[in-house]
Amino acid sequence: MEGVPDWIDRAGATVRSGPVKVLVQYSYAGKGFSDATNTVFTPTGVTGAVPAYHVWDASVEWSFLRNYRLSAGVNNLADAKYFTRRINMYPGPGILPADGRTFYVSFALKM
């Protein structure tokens, strides 16, 4: 079946100590194909194998003063270079690379 890796695994751990929570998540997707005939390679790059990849994410959250929460995290911690699909339209044809390492910070107030 096209677009479906042969194996998908997601695992994570959350540790909470008082007002602090730390989360680490690992994601793995095995090799897949972009077409129903499982074409391994074409010169155009529109169809072919989609290699396996793994990604680590981490976040930390701090709750304080009862109604406030500060969170921060990193997605794709190791800055893995991978792609999840192939396309035949703009900006293609070829692969659509995944995002590199990204950071985020958020602040929440519960009323």
Query: 17 lies in a domain?
Result: yes
Segment holding 26, helix H or strand E = strand 20-29
Query: 3 lies in a domain?
Result: no
Domain containing 59: what range? 8-109
Query: 56 lies in a domain?
Result: yes
Query: 24 lies in a domain?
Result: yes
What band does 93 get if pLDDT is binned at 50, 70 and 90? confident
Q: How many domains does the chain have?
A: 1
Query: 16 lies in a domain?
Result: yes
pTM of the model: 0.83
Mean pLDDT of 32-43: 85
Q: What is the pLDDT of residues 51-77, one digit of tens each?
A: 999 999 999 999 999 999 999 999 999
Which among 56, 53, 98, 54 has a CA at the least distance from the CA of 74?
56
In this prediction, residue 8 carries a pLDDT of 96
Query: 57 lies in a domain?
Result: yes
Distances (CA, A) of 52 to 42, 70, 81, 82: 18, 34, 11, 8
Query: 2 lies in a domain?
Result: no
* Structural tokens at position 21: 């929570």
